[in-house]
Structure 1
Amino acid sequence: MIQLHDVDLKLLKVFNTIVKCGGFSAAQATLNVAQSTISEQMAHLETRLGVKLCERGRSGFRLTEQGEAIHAATQRLLSAVEDFCVDADVLKREVSGTLNLGVIDSTITDPACPLKQTTQRFVMRGHEVHLHVHIGTPAELEEQVLDGRLHLAVGHFPFRVPGLSYSPLYQESHGFYCGRHHPLAGGHGPKVNLLERIATSRVVARGYLQQRDLQSLGVGKAAATVDNVEAQAMLILSGAYAGFLPEHFARPWVESGDLVHLEPGRLRLLSAFEIITRRGAAAPLIQRAFLDELMQCARTMADAQ
């Protein structure tokens, strides 16, 4: 495979100019060099590529079949280089200011969440950016993205709000837990018996996940309602309630014996995490740059699993 160097790029630009001008002589004025220099440069390029690019003589200038193919490839390459230079220049000049990012609570312990890696990579690129991070409920995040207070937000959004775009990011696994002193803690019988016991227990649910959680358990009504994971964990740890928690968040208390994971693998729910942005709004460069980094990190982490 041919390895391109800076000199090759310069020679390809000369070749492209020759073709554009229609010959060596016609390209002299544009390139501002003697025809003999152009001939030497073309000979060098043909040697580097290992193919004859053109014929010239009394019949005039014309490209060989290989020259036609190389010229087409050269145009694609030069166009890509130009696009890169423009993008790099824009990034250098304009990725600055404040990025307002919203996140649902208690994601920091989730190894599947790409936000930590994204932030590290984004900042290490040298962007002059001030990050403002707001932790909120799904409804709060949706409202603030919609009215422009947040550029984008990451979380689980069970409902769809008109005016917002939702893009999948990753999934969070939830298990069903009770405290070590809860009556359900010693139950190891069949699932049907456990569900019957859960139906007569106090179940706590997050407001925005209440319908999903209760339906999966066959429970008609929650005994307590919270709006974040920490409040849910507090009530479950009390031993008075049982409920769903993100497995990554509950793990330290399971390891210490303060929480009991009931029916692992069977009483398990997945929450789809998404990125929300305002639909139809012209996204500032700082938002696009962070979003691109976030999606790339998510893909890399998914591929590594």
Structure 2
Amino acid sequence: MLSQVRDLDLQLLRLFVCVVESGGFSAAQGELGIGQSTISTQMAKLETRLGFRLCERGKAGFSLTPKGEQVLAATRKLFGAIETFKGEAQGMADKLLGELSIGLSESLDAGVLQRVAAAIGRFRQRNQAVQIELISATPAELERRLLQDQLHLAIGYFSGNQTALEHQPLFDEQQSLYCAQGHPLFTRARVSRADLDACDRVLHPYRFISLDEPYQGCPSSARCEQVEGSLAFILSGAHIGYLPQHVAAPWVANGLLRALLPDEVSFAVQFRLTRHRGRQPSEAQQALQADLLASFAD
């Protein structure tokens, strides 16, 4: 009784199929390259393994038993499944699979989003079947998710203090200090540092770039981690605060925001592509990371 299928069994089954398709032992000699007695011995081994006769051979010629007919059908089905497996396995060897979660810092410039989109487009041209999730969040949230293995990659500005994270520079974002229509400095012809010191400034409680900000004025009665919240505070006319220049640009164009001392207190923030240093990246993650770096290098 055949309880396990071994390599030898597969060899014997292939011989069996060849004998049947050739029309008998004698006719199969040329196809198999072995003598008739060896073929007969091998067929006997297979029948012993199965526990029943597969064919009748003698003066009346070669013919399959009813069980032999069923074994032939089952064997062809088995070899067909093996060929299907080989094809699918080969396809998987060259195919990127899995899931990727990518974090994006909030309120990115349109040009930056176009580069991210271009990288995704490049990745989709690869031989892949990868589920990609994009998550927009504050830098603090992105860093937390990276450390907790909830993100594979993130694009944002980070403290650089987390040794578990690996960073690769992507681009710089320009930041300026703004006030809005209705604020005392909005219409003032000349603004000084002393004027700024008397203002109520929006405080960012988790701004990794805060120590690099050229202006560190106080006091502050407004706190916000999100760019949109900071913009709302500034538009109220009661506060001054830093904003990415691309976020402020349409409001400046409409005459609702004004940059304060742009040559003195504006500065650049470096955005980086970040991953967890201690986690082995999948082939899909490595490929998308390469596409992102290439897109921003163009």
Match of residue 257 from structure 2: 259
Partner of 2:183: 182
Q: In the alignment, which residue of structure 1 is the partner of 2:272?
A: 274
3-state DSSP class of the match of 1:177? strand
Please name the residue that 2:23 is paired with: none
User: In 2, Cα distance between the equivalents of 1:284 and 1:203?
Assistant: 44
1:195, CA displacement in angstroms? 1.3
Give 1:154 shift: 0.8
- Seen in structure 2, the aligned counterparts of structure 1 residues 90 and 239 have a Cα distance that, compared at 3 Å, is farther
One-letter amino acid matched to 2:236: S
**In structure 2, what residue type is equivalent to 1:289?**
A
Aligned length: 209
Please give the alpha-carbon distance, in whole angstroms, between the structure 1 residues aligned to 2:219 and 2:91.
54
Q: For structure 1, which runs of at least 5 residues remain unmatched after alignment?
A: 1-88, 301-305
Instruction: State the Cα distance separating 1:207 from its structure 2 match.
Output: 1.9
Q: In 2, Cα distance between the equivalents of 1:233 and 1:148?
A: 31
Matching residue of 2:202: 204
Q: Any idea what the Cα deviations from partners look like across 1:155-175, whole Å, max 9, x if unmatched?
A: 011242131112211110011
Instruction: Provide Cα deviations, 1:76-133, integer angstroms capped at 9, x if missing partner.
Output: xxxxxxxxxxxxx888733133210011110143558732322232234463222211
Within a 5 Å distance, the mapping from 1:1-305 to structure 2 comes to 93-111=94-112, 114-125=115-126, 127-189=128-190, 193-209=191-207, 212=210, 216-300=214-298
Give the greater-gyration-radius structure (CA).
2
**Cα distance, 1:163–1:109 mapped onto 2, change above 3 Å:** same
AA in 1 matched with 2:228: E
Q: Deviations over 1:61-82 (max 9, x none)?
A: xxxxxxxxxxxxxxxxxxxxxx
* Secondary structure in structure 2 of the residue aligned to 1:265: helix
Looking at structure 2, the residues matched to 214 and 100 of structure 1 have their Cα atoms a distance apart, in angstroms, of 30
Deviation at 1:221, TM superposition (A): 4.1
Change (3 A) 1:226 1:294: same
Q: CA deviation at 1:252?
A: 0.9
> How far 1:238 moved relative to its partner?
1.2
Instruction: Report the TM-score, using the length of structure 1 for normalisation.
Output: 0.62
Q: Deviations over 1:181-218 (max 9, x none)?
A: 111111232xxx52111111111032223873696224
Provide the C-alpha distance between the structure 1 equivalents of 2:211 and 2:200, rounded to a whole number of angstroms.
13
Instruction: Give the letter aligned to residue 288 of structure 1.
Output: Q
Return the alpha-carbon distance in structure 2 between the equivalents of residues 205 and 214 of structure 1. Answer: 14
Which residue identity lines up with residue 118 of structure 2 in the other structure? Q
Q: Is the 8 A contact 1:109 1:249 kept in 2?
A: no
Shift of 1:232: 0.6
Counterparts of 2:175 and 2:114, CA distance in 1: 14
**Contact 1:107–1:113 (8 Å) recurs in 2:** no
